[in-house]
Homo-oligomer: A and B are copies of this chain.
Amino acid sequence: MKKYVGYLIDLDGTMYRGNEEIDGAKEFIEKLYQENIPYVFVTNNSTKTAEDVAKRLQDIQIRATASQIITSSKAIARYIQSKHPNRKVTCYCIGEAGLKEALRQTGVELTDDINPDYVIVGLDRTITYEKLEGACLAIRNGATFLSTNRDHAIPTEKGMGPGNGAITALISTSTEVEPLFVGKPDSIIMEQAIKALGMTSEQVIMIGDNYHTDIQAGIQANMDTLYVETGVTTREQLLTFNKQPTYTVKTLNEWIPYI
Binding site for B on A (CB under 8 A): 114, 124-129, 132-133, 136-137, 140, 152-153, 156, 158-163, 165-167, 169-176
A132 touching B162, Cβ below 8 Å: yes
Please report the C-alpha to C-alpha distance between residue A176 and residue B166 in the assembled complex, in whole angstroms: 10
Residue of B nearest to A130 (CB): B125
A169 touching B160, Cβ below 8 Å: no
Q: How far is the CB of A129 from chain B (nearest CB, A)?
A: 4
Chain B residue numbers with a CB within 8 Å of A176 are: 152
Contact residue among B129, B159, B166 (Cβ-Cβ distance under 8 Å from A161): B129
Q: How far is the CB of A95 from chain B (nearest CB, A)?
A: 13
Chain B residue numbers with a CB within 8 Å of A126 are: 129
In the complex, the 5 A-B pairs of residues with the closest C-beta atoms, listed nearest first: A166-B174, A169-B173, A133-B161, A170-B170, A162-B174
B160 touching A140, Cβ below 8 Å: yes
Chain B residue numbers with a CB within 8 Å of A129 are: 124-127, 161-162
A136 touching B114, Cβ below 8 Å: no
B158 touching A114, Cβ below 8 Å: yes
Please report the C-alpha to C-alpha distance between residue A54 and residue B158 in the assembled complex, in whole angstroms: 42
Please report the C-alpha to C-alpha distance between residue A170 and residue B175 in the assembled complex, in whole angstroms: 13
Chain B residue numbers with a CB within 8 Å of A127 are: 127-129, 132
B159 touching A166, Cβ below 8 Å: no
- 14 further contact pairs, Cβ within 8 A, besides A126-B129, A153-B174, A165-B174: A114-B159, A124-B129, A129-B161, A133-B158, A136-B153, A137-B161, A140-B159, A152-B173, A152-B176, A153-B175, A162-B174, A166-B171, A167-B170, A169-B169
